[in-house]
């Protein structure tokens, strides 16, 4: 039991250190980022602060679930804006413009009425559906635009892969959780999975923020 606790703590410390590191890198590199990743860069310190506050609340008042609701507002808005900058299709941009306020309204509604005092699973799942769709749309755009850069040098590829993997795993986790509960199976493995996926998520976003560079195309008649 003690050992298991220790292991969980170690995962958590790795996660928080990674988040802190990503937040610091985001702030250092902020000026050199493209508009799309400037937005994601802002999300990193916010996430770190939110997670820290969540930990403090858990230790003091033993209920930090409000943090999960509040983070959704920032996360959805900023991730959507990242793709708003990246995706070029005007119709998609229009949809994103509408989606942000609608989603935020839903998060507040959910936090006040539907899942008051509970984990914000509704908001998370709905938000992640949007992120998975963004990821797939960005893959499509990468394929269709004839960039000469290799895929590994495209920050949006890492960012989209991060959200795609994370998003689908979270869905898997919630699906399996219902099953585990129904069959009285120990859920530890699921929480471990989620922590690892969180670590993967922020590692990939860190890669994206590290390789993103705002190069304005210079132009001249030779």
Partner 1 sequence: MRKEGLDINNDIITVVFIACLFFALIVSFLIFFVVLYNRRQARNRREKADLQSHYKQELLKTQIEVQDQTLSYISREIHDNITQVLSFVKLSLGVKTADPEQNRAKINESRELLAQAINDLRDLSKSLSFDSIKAMGLTNTLEREIKRINNSGLITVTLQVDGEAYTLGEKRELVIFRIFQESVNNALKHANAKQMKVELLYSEKVFNLTISDNGEGFDTRILNDFEGSGLNNMLNRAKLIGAKANIESAVGKGCRISLTLDEVIQQIYADGTY
The token pair at 50 is 């939110």
Shortest distance in whole angstroms from residue 135 CB to partner 1: 10
Backbone angles phi, psi at 71, to 5 degrees: -60, -35
Q: Which lies closer to partner 1 via its Cβ, residue 113 or residue 215?
A: 215
Cα–Cα dist 186/182, whole Å: 11
Shortest distance in whole angstroms from residue 62 CB to partner 1: 31
The token pair at 134 is 């963004």
Shortest distance in whole angstroms from residue 194 CB to partner 1: 13
Cα–Cα dist 190/174, whole Å: 9
Taking alpha carbons only, the member of 104, 120, 110 closest to residue 174 is 120
DSSP-derived letter for residue 153 is G
Q: Which lies closer to partner 1 via its Cβ, residue 31 or residue 183?
A: 183
Q: Which lies closer to partner 1 via its Cβ, residue 60 or residue 152?
A: 152
Q: Which lies closer to partner 1 via its Cβ, residue 9 or residue 192?
A: 192
What residue ranges bind partner 1 (CB under 8 A)? 139, 142-143, 146-148, 150-151, 161, 164-165, 168, 172, 176, 179-180, 183-185, 217-222
Shortest distance in whole angstroms from residue 136 CB to partner 1: 9
Cα–Cα dist 117/62, whole Å: 12
């Amino acid at each position: 039991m003690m050992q298991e606790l220790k292991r969980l703590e170690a995962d958590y410390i790795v996660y928080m250190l990674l988040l802190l590191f990503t937040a610091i890198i985001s702030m250092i590199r902020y000026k050199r980022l493209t508009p799309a990743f400037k937005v994601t860069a802002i999300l990193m310190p916010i996430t770190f602060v939110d997670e820290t506050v969540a930990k403090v609340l858990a230790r003091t008042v033993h209920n930090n679930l409000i943090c999960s609701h509040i983070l959704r507002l920032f996360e959805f808005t900023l991730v959507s804006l990242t793709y708003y900058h990246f995706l070029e299709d005007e119709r998609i941009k229009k949809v994103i413009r509408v989606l942000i306020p609608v989603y935020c309204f839903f998060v507040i509604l959910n936090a006040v009425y539907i899942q008051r005092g509970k984990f914000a699973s509704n908001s998370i799942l709905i938000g992640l559906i949007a992120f998975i769709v963004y990821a797939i749309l960005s893959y499509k755009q990468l394929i269709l635009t004839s960039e000469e850069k290799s895929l590994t040098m495209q920050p949006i590829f890492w960012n989209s892969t991060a959200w795609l993997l994370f998003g689908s795993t979270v869905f898997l986790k919630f699906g399996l959780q219902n099953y585990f509960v129904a069959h009285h199976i120990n859920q530890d493995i699921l929480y471990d999975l989620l922590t690892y996926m969180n670590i993967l998520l922020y590692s990939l976003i860190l890669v994206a923020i590290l390789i993103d560079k705002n190069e304005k195309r210079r132009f001249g008649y030779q």
